[in-house]
Structure 1
Amino acid sequence: MSTVDQADGYTRSVLVAVLLSVAGIIASQFTTVPAFLLDPTLLESPAEASNTATFIFLTLNFAGFFLVGGAYLWWTERGWDWLDIRMPTRRGWLYVLVGIFGSIAFVMVVNVVATLFELPSSENQVMELVGDDPNMVLLMIVVVFLFNAPAEEFLFRNVIQKRLYAAFSRMSAVIITSIIFALVHIPAYALAADGGLAPLGAIGVSLAVVFGGSIIFGTLYAKTDNLLVPTAAHAAFNAFQFAILYLVLRYAPEELENMMAVSLEAGLALLPL
């Protein structure tokens, strides 16, 4: 392959990755319309919406990723054989554990750095939807296992990252996918609750968590060629975060809840909406 052809391969692969990422985000805005029609409160006061409407909104939010990834596989005639889905081996499950504890450790490091530099945390729409309802938190654990982690890992790992393998090394594909994944979420973290711009420090903390988490889960996929490995690690990590939130809301005093706020916001940055 000539230098020109190789450069074209690089450019085309990255362009396809960016377009698929943006398409997934845009599609998610349309798939959630039925939830808003069911309960318009989701638009004005998300925390006051019914648990049923919130659950439907969250599940439909990730349906867009499935639709875009599936449409791409159909359009390119790759078919469902392109998917790397099989029961993990013992080595695969070890990678899952490494991913879970690695994600937790990474978020803890981000929390320490954010605390040392007195960086604020950006608000996450998930926290607005959950409010202070412990029952909604339990529903979120179901969402991350059945919809959030499977949808994001399917599109960003088994479709986008794997597509990048054609032009880049595996680790380069992991890094590129993670950069794109972080960049497409800038709008979600740049807007503050009052409609203005969030502090740069807050945006940076959230994007650092998103980028780092994507690096971890992307590496798991690159090492195992098994979509279930990063999906299981991703789901378990987010479920761990919600389990902490549940305990805080159900049992912790207000002082502890305030102390946990930064940690929860950073960890739940991996749940972009």
Structure 2
Amino acid sequence: MAESDGSQTVTRAQTLIEGILIVLGALFFASIAVIAIQGTAVDAGIFDAESTGSQLLGTVVQFLAFGIVVFWYLRTTDRWETLKLGVPTARQWGIVIAGTIGLLGAQIGLTVVLDTIGISTGANRAVTAGLGNPDYFLAMIVISILLVGPAEELLFRGVVQTRLRETWGAWPAILLATVIFGVIHLPAIVGDTGQQWATIALITLLGVVLGYLYERTQNVVVPALVHGVHNAVIFGLQYLSAIGVA
């Protein structure tokens, strides 16, 4: 029994390391791709280095790169059957709607709680990049739904959470994948150290909802839609604020 427990511990450690390496590999590949393609666009005179167009191009390239890494991993390991993906059923569409409302409500509620106890959160660079430029927020609404939600959910839920579930079980896999999901957002948070980690804690808690939705529906399209629409709503509110409506 002790030998079996030790073997299981090693296997769990291996899958956790594998999951972390997949994410780090995706981040590294995306960084290289963004630098190369943004640099080419700037050198060709298509965009100025600090322009909105260059920022949006970098975002598009980053999440396309995530998708490429997911494709490479599944092809290399021949694990296509582990990715649960399909057209949502009528019931799953209902879960998408409820999940989106729940995720937005949870974010508002948790933010209020943090403010009440005197803890402030930081700002996401994806939001601050568009300050003073409403068109940026409009573009990010589309990018969130078509790229950000799908790419992050394919990576963190479709690949990492699925892999961890094989040795850790459902809830530990959800929690571990979500912690990784939260921590990798740290460089994108503007603020002091306390604000950054408060925001990471908030993102992590919201990520648990996405992980649960994948586990419940066994369809990565569901959390991808919830994630994408949630982000789109945030950018939509920023757009309304930028044009003086809200």
Are 2:234 and 1:241 aligned?
A: yes
1:40-96 superposed Cα distances (whole Å, 9 cap, x missing partner): 89xx984xx0x43232111001122112212211221224x4432211112211221
1:214-239 superposed Cα distances (whole Å, 9 cap, x missing partner): 10111000001101100111111111
1:97-139 superposed Cα distances (whole Å, 9 cap, x missing partner): 2211111111112221232233333232212321211111110
Rounded to whole Å, the distance in 2 between the matches of 1:217 and 1:102 is 11
Partner amino acid, structure 2, of 1:132:
G
Structure 2's unaligned 5+ residue stretches are none
Q: Does the 8 Å contact 1:36/1:57 carry over to 2? A: no
Partner amino acid, structure 1, of 2:177:
T
Superposition TM-score, scaled by structure 1 size = 0.81
Partner amino acid, structure 2, of 1:10:
R
Rounded to whole Å, the distance in 2 between the matches of 1:45 and 1:103 is 35
> SS where residue 9 of structure 1 aligns?
helix
Partner amino acid, structure 1, of 2:63:
F
Q: 2:206 aligns with which of 205, 210, 213?
A: 213
Rounded to whole Å, the distance in 1 between the matches of 2:7 and 2:214 is 28
Are 2:38 and 1:35 aligned?
A: yes
Q: 2:219 aligns with which of 212, 226, 238?
A: 226
Superposition TM-score, scaled by structure 2 size = 0.89
Structure 2 equivalent of residue 265 of structure 1: none
In the TM superposition, 1:115-154 aligns within 5 A as 115-154=115-154
Are 2:6 and 1:4 aligned?
A: yes
Q: Does the 8 Å contact 2:134/2:239 carry over to 1? A: yes
Rounded to whole Å, the distance in 2 between the matches of 1:188 and 1:142 is 20
Structure 1 equivalent of residue 108 of structure 2: 108
> SS where residue 174 of structure 1 aligns?
helix
Partner amino acid, structure 1, of 2:107:
V
- Cα deviation for residue 174 of structure 1 reads 0.5
> SS where residue 39 of structure 1 aligns?
helix
Rounded to whole Å, the distance in 1 between the matches of 2:42 and 2:111 is 35
- How many pairs are equivalent? 240
Percent identity, aligned pairs only? 25
Q: Does the 8 Å contact 1:31/1:63 carry over to 2? A: no
Structure 2 equivalent of residue 250 of structure 1: 243
Q: 2:197 aligns with which of 197, 200, 204?
A: 204
Rounded to whole Å, the distance in 2 between the matches of 1:239 and 1:206 is 18
Structure 1's unaligned 5+ residue stretches are 193-197, 257-273
Partner amino acid, structure 2, of 1:58:
T
Rounded to whole Å, the distance in 1 between the matches of 2:185 and 2:55 is 21
Partner amino acid, structure 1, of 2:227:
H
Structure 2 equivalent of residue 271 of structure 1: none
Q: 1:22 aligns with which of 21, 24, 46?
A: 24
Rounded to whole Å, the distance in 2 between the matches of 1:78 and 1:170 is 18
Q: Does the 8 Å contact 2:127/2:235 carry over to 1? A: no
Partner amino acid, structure 1, of 2:236:
A
RMSD: 2.1
